[in-house]
Amino acid sequence: MLRLWKPLIKRSKLEKVKLTLSSNSYDIFIGSGLLSDSELIGRHIGKKSVFIISNKSVANHYLDRLISSLSGFDFGVYLIPEGEQFKNLRTVEEIISVMIKKGANRTSTILALGGGVVGDTAGFVAAIFQRGIPFLQIPTTLLAQVDSSVGGKTAVNHEDGKNMIGAFYQPKTVIVDTDTLNTLPKREVSTGLAEIIKHGILADRSYFDWIEKNISKLLRLDSETLEYVVAGSCRIKAEIVSEDELETGKRALLNLGHTFGHAIETATGYSKWLHGEAVGAGLVMAADLSFRLGMCALDDAKRIKALVTDAGLPFAPPASLEEETFLRLMSRDKKVDETGLRFVLVNGGIGSAALVERVPIEKLRATLQARENLCSGV
């Protein structure tokens, strides 16, 4: 158990979390009003050429604020259409075409202003444009602030699988302006809570306990509570990534709930379920399978299901997703190796997880069949 979170105390305006790597270490800055901090943003941009990647809804709220902090910089803008279904190679090619027309070069810096789709896509463009240029993550959704902006995973989807085309490519920094959460729809708040709950399950039971007690504050966007949980989750993820940047071991634990969740997203065409909603159901399915394998007490599995539900997330996969389709889609998961399909499961209770190989097929099928009875002991 990592125990990386800190008791809630009176906070300073700016919180800084260090992500330490063998090379390309960087800071994660968390606080209110950071989009207007021209000095903070400017010192992480190399030359004068900047290319902003965002989407329309985020741009309507925050693009002008960011641009006002870029005095003296030359910049271009590309707005990705809304939705996970546009996180693909077609969008990447369109962005690169615009960058070339705008005169972007190897000294340019990409600013990713938005949620997970924007950050993942912009990061992948940065990784491949002219063999790699710097980029900054400026996440504006709860999910991106606590998870996808941190750690250097960049990718786009393929019609046959989530995040199948990508690279490990670290940003120069991550700048989290928690004021951007004030315009976040309730559904997007819930989807971010899925990743926060995941961090408690896999790394720190006391953090999970704290989330349970404060879930109502998080849902109503209490600013102090949100800043605290963003920093807490960033610390947990930064510690894990620092030990295993390229996911050859421990970092795989961050995929808890994602084998099930990615199958749900793929089956629904990346358009009906948000990522965090699929992960929420995936966490409950992982808890159920953990219980069936004797790795997790039923009471802990029930707590996981209850917290996912309290966060406003679905706890079961879509009824239309048939068992054989689920198995087929999971077999394409990136965690599949020569031993077959592997799952990250709760290991000994909330606060610890393990990567498990060769799960008995009858146990897996029982979880897939449980649906509404997940984590009920049936």
Residues carrying an active site annotation: 131, 153, 195, 237, 247, 251, 255, 258, 262, 275
- Are 226 and 182 a contacting pair, CB within 8 Å? no
CA distance 183 to 170: 27
CA distance 234 to 15: 11
Q: Phi first, then psi: what are they for 365, rounded to 5°?
A: -65, -35
Task: State both tokens at 249.
Answer: 């071991």
């546009």: which residue's tokens? 86
Buried b (16+ CB within 10 A) or exposed e, 267-282: bbebeebbbbbbbbbb
């449980």: which residue's tokens? 370
Closest C-alpha among 44, 232, 238, 68 to residue 138 = 44
Closest C-alpha among 3, 7, 373, 2 to residue 213 = 7
> What amino acid occupies position 320?
S
Task: State both tokens at 238.
Answer: 């930064």
Residue 110 pairs in a beta bridge with: 51, 135
Task: State both tokens at 109.
Answer: 């810096």
CA distance 59 to 182: 15
